[in-house]
Amino acid sequence: MPRSSRLRLLIRLLVITASGAITALAFPPFDIVPAVFAMAGLAWAVRTSDSVRSAAFAGWAWSFGFHVAGLYWISNALLVGGDRYLWMVPLAIAGLPAFLALFTATAAALAQWASQALSGTRIKRLGLGQWLLLASVLSITEWTRGHVLTGFPWNLPAYAWDSVPAMLQTASVVGAYGVSLLTVIMATAPALLFDRTISRRDTAIAVAIVTSAVLGVGVWGGERLAEADTAMRQDTIIRVVQGNVPQVDKWNPALRPGHIRRYLELSRPETQPSRRAAELPLNAKPTVVVWPETAVAFLIDTESDALEALSQAAPDGGALIFGAPRLSRDASGAEQVHNSVLALSRSGKLDWVFDKHHLVPFGEYVPFREVLPIDKIVPGTRDFTPGPGAATRQSAGVPPVSPLICYEVIFPGRVVAADGIRPEWLLNLTNDSWYGRSSGPYQHFAISRLRAIEEGLPLVRAANTGISAVIDSHGRVLARLELGRTGTIDSPLPMALEPTIYATYGDILYWTACLMSLCLSTLLLVGGRLKTIGE
């Protein structure tokens, strides 16, 4: 290859990768929504590729830039407590994005191959059909990313709208994947302006249709919010405690008693909250106290003497809900360790236990441990044992709740048990202190918020170092504690809505929209072929 050609290829590669990185600015904490239009760089790259292979490489380069910029913060967890996992930092910064980029590469390759197959090799009028096909297949591979190998649906395109609550309301109908489909179609549309094979008339029609759809969704969402009152349960007052314990100190045996004392002090009814929801009566006392994931940073079992001491944080007639590593034994008597949420009454009685079922690879267990000579990042040599799955838990004085530990909340459609009693709220206990003051905690918070909108359920979030919050069933934040703050939130529990369309039908409407989009793109491609043959 001539030197000039190699230089042009390098410049093209840098432009594509940079457009992916710029797209990440649309997501929290930056929330620069117009940056999402940098996704048009991906559509342009695929459109100008001369083969399926080059389209796949273009898709991979764009996605690599996007995920490096969006997920760099994962490497922070490897640096907590020393340089033991320093060798894994390059794998976190570049290895994970390189793997995730394979999904986008697959979408680009499929779109290019299908466009050529449907339109014929002589056809040059690929623009509209190829654009819509690419957007549809991209959306499908995002769904796949959220399900394959336990799934990792982080920074789905839908979350680019975090600072525009009206646009998020559509998630109550089509979920995060449906909103992502619309977002990808919109964000890649500017690429049509640079496609000379499309007439100005066709481009104007396509842009007008997409713009009208986005504006229609926004107007509907705005009206939904304007008409929605935040009804509150005055019989359930929740105190969320944010202990703000640094991760480097969390598991230090000498410091643990002080950490527990801090949580107990913040849980007392007479302690004034740092944040009060506007709807909270002045003399209201907490009926439920919530501590974050592994707030109790030592191994506990259901017969532990520690439960009696911890029960002093539970309100009379209510419960303390807290996170802790829990010891149990299987049928053979072998010990198991769980990442658990426990509900404790004032009498010291354990009302219920929920074990995390969606464990973090390499964080809470090591995949292929038989062949990989490494330990998990979370302290302790043994892998955590997963629980049975999403469940509704009930106890005296506490409305039925669906507990979600850490990143279990990131999975659309999998935060409520498929059968049994429908919960009246979602509870997300997490420990984002692993990631410091980075983009990670802000992204996690935005992801959690969308689950409330999808399910029509309020969400209470307790995070060790932040962000803790009480969120109503429309995704509105009623009270919030920021990163790095020590304090509490007192708020009545918002009322649940009737099951949303998404809560009832799941991703069915999303897949219907995908099928319609694929059919339309096929008609455009085949129609272009027939038109050219006729000429």
Which amino acids are annotated catalytic? 293, 356, 406
Question: Cα(440)–Cα(72) distance, rounded to whole angstroms?
Answer: 9
Question: Cα(161)–Cα(132) distance, rounded to whole angstroms?
Answer: 21
Half-sphere exposure of 165 (CA within 13 A, CB side): 16
Q: Which residue type is seen at 178?
A: G
Question: Cα(44)–Cα(450) distance, rounded to whole angstroms?
Answer: 30
Instruction: Give burial (CB, 10 Å; 0-12/13-18/19+) of 498.
Output: exposed
Residue identified by tokens 């969402």 is 221
Q: Which residue type is seen at 511?
A: W
* Strands lying side by side in the sheet with 459-463: 393-395, 398-405, 425-430, 459-463, 468-471, 477-481
Rounded alpha-carbon distances, angstroms, from residue 110 to 23, 46, 101, 104, 148: 22, 11, 14, 10, 18
DSSP-H helix ranges across 146-255: 165-168, 171-188, 200-226, 247-250
Question: Cα(317)–Cα(395) distance, rounded to whole angstroms?
Answer: 10
**C-beta of residue 137 within 8 angstroms of C-beta of residue 107:** yes
Question: Cα(526)–Cα(115) distance, rounded to whole angstroms?
Answer: 9
Distant-in-sequence contacts of 467-472, Cβ < 8 A, 24+ apart: 467/432, 467/441, 467/442, 468/240, 468/242, 468/292, 469/240, 469/445, 470/238, 470/240, 470/277, 470/494, 472/230
Q: Which residue type is seen at 498?
A: E
* Strands lying side by side in the sheet with 487-494: 275-276, 487-494, 232-242, 288-290, 319-329, 335-344, 350-355
- Contacts for 416 with CB less than 8 Å, ≥ 6 apart: 390, 392, 402, 422, 423, 426, 455, 457, 503
Residue identified by tokens 């330990």 is 375
**C-beta of residue 471 within 8 angstroms of C-beta of residue 450:** no
- Provide the token pair at 74: 């994962």
Question: Cα(300)–Cα(339) distance, rounded to whole angstroms?
Answer: 10
**C-beta of residue 72 within 8 angstroms of C-beta of residue 93:** yes
- Contacts for 323 with CB less than 8 Å, ≥ 6 apart: 291, 292, 293, 294, 295, 296, 339, 340, 341, 342, 405, 429, 431
**C-beta of residue 327 within 8 angstroms of C-beta of residue 336:** yes
- Provide the token pair at 503: 């809560």
Question: Cα(195)–Cα(189) distance, rounded to whole angstroms?
Answer: 11
